[in-house]
Amino acid sequence: MTKVARALRFASVGSFENLRLDKVELPSLKSGEAYIRVKASGINLSDVVNVLGWLPFTTTPRTPGRDFAGIVEAVADSNHQEWVGKEVWGTGGEVGFTSDGAHASLIKVGIDALSEKPKNLSFAQAASVGLPWLCAHLAVHTLAQVKEEDNVLIIGARGAIGSAALQLCSQIKARNIFGTYSKSPPEATSHIPIDLSINPSPARLLSDLGFRNKLTVVIDAYGSDTLLNDVMDILSPEGRGRIVVMAVHNKDGHASLNLRKFYAKSLTLLGLSSSRMNPTEGARMLDTLRPHFENGTFKLEKEVTEVPFDSVERIVQAYQETLERSNQSKLVFTMPNVAE
């Protein structure tokens, strides 16, 4: 039996004017699949630039959105009936780019991609976790492979990805963790010993503190080639310095790096593509996070703002604020509490 969902759709990329709220018929479940009644869906910058056509691999027509939290409404197989009614969260893969995503009231996912959400997080809070923590996990564990002996700098430490990376580095007990952010918070983040936000050159400040050539890892969660060029001055030489990048602000993807500084120290540049972790792998990553959120080890450092999923105008405003980074909170769509 088919189901009908209310979904955000775009038939072509290039402008928010292409966005529509439409009723979409979902195909019947196949073996190993489930329907999720979406309660909340996170808005990520990648969702926004996806609609604007900045990403070359997007196919249309498409429903955007990568992160969700909701309730399992139905499953295809009788041996998976225990999932029905459970509260779940999810993320990962090329969902929203080459297959329809989670900015919809109902979605179809694989059983293997199901993960029970933390009991102490609301649906909106849970929907804010997926992609930021997936990126942080890839940056810290897979790419930079942060260890206890590392001195780490997070660029964009107050953002959703940066604050997650800080907590993961803190869990590892990295030797020193520093963070830069565009606006100094009212209270110091517990995971950052030194506030570098008000200093135009974090490299100069860290050098004055005795960290010249001792910084081993830089995770750029913001996309600033200016700061990357600055901190290369203090990164460890002889192949020990690692830089993880995952964002660039220019539509054409171009950024400027001082290659002389880069090769002189034998630095390593690591590119992070969030789509390398598919939805099943994303679910297993979320499984490892759940107990840490439930026992309070991991926290949502970024405030969550709920955006009703009820009009194209309100949706476009949320997309625009995400693109411009004009809202300091994490925006999450919340779905009307009605069946289609």
pLDDT for residue 1 = 67
Of 135, 48, 8, 134, nearest in space to 323 by CA: 48
Report the C-alpha gap between 45 and 203 in whole angstroms: 28
Domains located in the chain, CATH noted? 3-130+275-334 (3.90.180.10), 144-271 (3.40.50.720)
pLDDT for residue 338 = 54
The 3-state DSSP class for residue 47 equals helix
The 3-state DSSP class for residue 7 equals strand
Report the C-alpha gap between 63 and 24 in whole angstroms: 10
pTM score: 0.91
pLDDT for residue 165 = 95
Helix axes 130-137, 279-294, angle to 10 degrees: 100
Report the C-alpha gap between 122 and 337 in whole angstroms: 14
**Which residues are CB-contacts of 326 (< 8 A; sequence separation ≥ 6)?**
320
Contact 152, 129 (CB under 8 A): no
Residue 87 burial (CB count, 10 A): 16
Q: What is the pLDDT of residues 247-274, one digit of tens each?
A: 877 778 888 899 999 999 999 999 999 8
pLDDT for residue 248 = 77
Per-residue pLDDT of the chain (340 residues; tens, 9 = 90+): 679 999 999 999 999 999 999 999 999 999 999 999 999 999 999 999 999 999 889 999 999 999 999 999 999 999 999 999 999 999 988 899 999 999 999 999 999 999 999 999 999 999 999 999 999 999 999 999 999 999 999 998 888 999 999 999 999 999 999 888 765 444 444 444 444 554 557 888 888 888 889 999 999 998 888 888 989 989 999 889 999 999 877 778 888 899 999 999 999 999 999 888 999 999 999 999 999 999 999 999 889 999 999 999 999 999 999 998 888 899 999 998 755 5
pLDDT for residue 210 = 87
Report the C-alpha gap between 323 and 313 in whole angstroms: 15
Q: Which amino acid is at 321?
A: E
pLDDT for residue 301 = 85
Report the C-alpha gap between 156 and 224 in whole angstroms: 9
Of 103, 24, 276, 107, nearest in space to 285 by CA: 276
Q: Is the peptide bond before 308 cis (omega within 30 degrees of 0)?
A: no
pLDDT for residue 158 = 83
* CA angle (187 as vertex; 181, 188 as ends), nearest 5: 60
